[in-house]
Structures are given as structure tokens and as C-alpha cells.
């Protein structure tokens, strides 16, 4: 298939692009490179450096695209509380522009990068796809709004679509020609931020909130390896049915607290990771743990790297590789 990947130069999108190419697909990417990295893309991939609102200039009726994988978005929950209008403009208005371009171009396949943040503070764990949706931050609300817009587009235009609701994605893809991992400026995600402390690049790791109703008072999250997450996108793409909107949760079904992550980073790196307690962040749920039973049953998806040690270990290897590459020019 010929596929358009929005946000394909980002952390998740770039890993999916590489897996799509390995599977024999033709891939083009639209990315404004505000957070993505052109160096994450293979040379044979055509990059359209454009804002998502301009996607109609790429996704045209004559372009011959068979499907779209949609990753382009603002993703920081804390920032979304401070700048909600940016998140609604980028995530919702941009996605509506994409859905309109999909309609005009006659594309029949869409895989959307949704999020576990749509569930807010769930009443039962693990979280199934039937759980009540009640986001606690604007980021989650914008993703839920796009899920809803997709559902209506499916009914109106017989689009086949799948929303994949990720839990916490981490780790790195190390086996390909280009090592791919998290690289944010500034780094806001827990595992790579902890690795920066272990490497002496920042003095301490801020842990937001120590009074949650969890085992040690810090937030608990379900971590999924980036390669396992990417593989689910290829399975979802093949399993799309016209006129149906499917939703799948993707995680490992195990929760780890922020302090448990710190301990694993210490164990993997052999370095001390100093922690600085900080107040809770607005909109952070206490615990998010996935049930991926539906994805296993309907997509045949099975995590190849479910253990936390592999996730943190691959992230550390990527981190060291990137530091060496930076130090040599």
C-alpha cells in the first residue's frame, strides 16, 4: 500500500515508518519538524515539511494514497493545561483538516494515535475499551474529540478506521540502520529524563506528587515498548474494515510507579538518580493500567518486549548511542 504518515519524523511515527517500509509499503511523511527529526527518516521516504492544516495539499485525489496513519499532535498533558487553545488548534482542528482531506481523496483506511488519557481516573483496573471516558486534562479531551470525529466520519463516508489508545510508550528501536528513541527538547518524559540524571546531564529528576493513592504515593503507569506499539499499527492497518471504527488499548497490563521507574533506571545504568519531590501536576491521573485483551484476540498482537528491564535497557542504549554521535560531530 501507499501510505501517508502524519508526524512521521517523531518518536513513534518514525519507528512505524521503518516497520512499514520493512513490510513492503510505500511511505510518505508530512511533518512540520517542530518536534520531529528529519534524521529519523530513511532516505527513500518523501518528507513533506508542512503543517497538518495543509495536509490537503499532499493528500489529493490524484496522489494515490491507500491509507493514513495519523500521529501528528501536541502530547504533553501538563502543557495542555497551561495552553489548551494550542492543543485544540493543533490536535482537533488539524485532525479535522486531515479527515476532510481523507474524504476528498477517497482514502479508505485510517489508523489514529489516540491515548489512554481519554479514560481520566478510571474506577476499575485494568482499563478496557468499555471503560468510561472522562479525561482530566485538555490533551485527553482533544484526543477524545478526534476519536469522536473519526467515528462520525466512519458512519458518514464508510471510512475504515482504528484508534489505538496508547499507555506509556518508551524504549528504543535499535536493530535498524538508524537507532530510534526518545529525543525531546526539553525532555519531559519520565524514563529519558531519569536517564539524563543518571548521565549527569541534569541534577535531579522531578517527581510530581507523592500523595496519590498508590503503593508509594507516586503515579502508576503501564509501559509499552516502542517496537511492540509500532507492530500493533501494522496489524491494525491490515485488519481495518470499511464502515467500522475499532478501538484498542495497548499496554502490558502491569503498573509501575514513578519511583519504581527510578529504581529500574538505577539498576540498568549503575548510576545514582537523585529525586526532587514536586507538587502534583494538574490533570495527572493516579493510575493507568491497560487491558489489551481485545488487541490480542482481534489483531493477534503480542508484546515481544513486555518487561520493564528491556524497555529501560533499550532506552539507555539509545541514549548512550546518541551521546556518542553528538560528541563526534
Using one digit for the tens of pLDDT, what is the confidence trace for 51-69?
999 999 999 999 999 999 9
Residue 174: what are its φ and ψ, rounded to 5°? -115, -10
DSSP state of 36: -
> Measured between alpha carbons, how far is 30 from 39 in angstroms, rounded to an integer?
14
Q: Which tens digits make up the pLDDT trace of 207-230?
A: 999 999 999 999 999 999 999 999
Q: What is the mean pLDDT of the chain?
A: 95
Instruction: Answer yes or no: is pLDDT of 324 > 70.
Output: no
Which domains are present in the chain?
2-169+224-250 (3.40.50.720), 172-221+254-327 (3.90.25.10)
Nearest to 183, CA basis, from 13, 5, 308: 13
Report, as an integer, the average pLDDT of 41-55: 97
Long-range Cβ contact pairs of 39-46 (< 8 A, separation 24 or more): 39/178, 40/9, 40/10, 40/14, 40/178, 40/180, 41/8, 41/9, 41/14, 41/17, 42/17, 42/18, 42/177, 42/178, 45/8, 45/17, 45/21
pLDDT band, residue 251 (cuts 50/70/90): very high
Q: Which tens digits make up the pLDDT trace of 264-311?
A: 999 999 999 999 999 998 888 899 999 999 999 999 999 999 999 999
pTM: 0.95
Q: Which tens digits make up the pLDDT trace of 141-194?
A: 999 999 999 999 999 999 999 999 999 999 999 998 889 999 877 788 999 999
Q: Residue-wise over 56-84: b if at least 16 C-beta within 10 A, else e?
A: eebbeeeeebebbbbbbbbbbbebbbeee
Mark whether 139 is an active-site residue: yes
pLDDT band, residue 35 (cuts 50/70/90): very high
Instruction: Answer yes or no: is pLDDT of 200 > 80.
Output: yes
87, 139, 166, 248: which is the annotated catalytic residue?
139
Cα 316 → chain centroid? 19
Instruction: Answer yes or no: is pLDDT of 329 > 50.
Output: no
> Measured between alpha carbons, how far is 120 from 71 in angstroms, rounded to an integer?
21
Determine the pLDDT at residue 176.
Answer: 86
Amino acid at each position: 500500500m501507499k501510505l501517508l504518515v502524519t508526524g512521521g519524523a517523531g518518536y513513534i511515527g518514525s519507528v512505524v515508518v521503518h516497520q512499514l517500509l520493512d513490510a513492503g509499503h510505500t511511505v510518505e511523511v508530512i511533518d512540520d519538524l517542530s518536534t520531529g527529526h528529519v534524521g529519523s527518516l530513511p532516505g527513500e521516504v518523501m518528507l513533506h515539511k508542512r503543517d497538518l492544516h495543509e495536509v490537503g495539499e499532499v493528500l489529493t485525489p490524484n496522489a494515490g494514497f491507500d491509507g493514513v496513519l495519523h500521529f501528528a499532535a501536541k502530547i504533553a498533558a501538563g502543557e495542555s493545561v497551561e495552553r489548551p487553545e494550542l492543543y485544540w488548534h493543533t490536535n482537533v482542528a488539524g485532525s479535522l483538516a486531515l479527515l476532510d482531506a481523507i474524504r476528498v481523496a477517497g482514502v479508505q483506511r485510517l489508523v489514529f494515535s489516540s491515548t489512554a488519557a481519554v479514560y481520566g481516573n478510571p474506577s476499575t483496573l485494568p482499563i478496557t475499551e468499555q471503560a468510561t471516558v472522562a479525561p482530566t486534562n485538555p490533551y485527553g479531551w482533544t484526543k477524545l474529540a478526534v476519536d469522536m470525529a473519526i467515528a462520525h466520519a466512519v458512519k458518514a463516508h464508510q471510512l475504515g478506521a482504528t484508534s489505538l489508545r496508547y499507555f506509556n510508550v518508551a524504549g528504543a528501536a535499535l536493530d535498524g540502520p538508524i537507532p530510534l528513541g526518545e529525543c525531546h527538547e526539553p525532555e519531559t518524559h519520565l524514563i529519558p529524563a531519569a536517564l539524563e540524571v543518571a548521565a549527569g546531564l541534569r541534577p535531579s529528576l522531578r517527581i510530581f506528587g507523592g500523595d496519590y493513592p498508590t503503593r508509594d504515593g507516586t503515579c502508576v503507569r503501564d509501559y509499552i515498548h516502542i517496537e511492540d506499539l509500532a507492530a500493533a499499527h501494522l496489524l491494525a492497518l491490515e485488519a481495518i474494515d470499511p464502515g467500522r471504527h475499532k478501538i484498542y488499548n495497548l499496554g502490558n497490563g502491569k503498573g509501575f510507579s514513578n519511583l519504581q521507574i527510578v529504581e529500574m533506571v538505577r539498576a540498568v545504568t549503575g548510576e545514582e538518580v537523585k529525586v526532587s519531590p514536586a507538587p502534583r501536576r494538574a490533570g495527572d491521573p493516579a493510575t493507568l493500567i491497560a487491558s489489551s485483551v481485545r488487541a490480542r484476540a482481534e489483531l493477534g498482537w503480542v508484546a515481544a518486549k513486555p518487561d520493564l528491564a528491556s524497555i529501560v535497557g533499550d532506552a539507555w542504549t539509545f541514549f548512550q548511542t546518541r551521546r556518542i554521535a553528538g560528541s563526534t560531530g
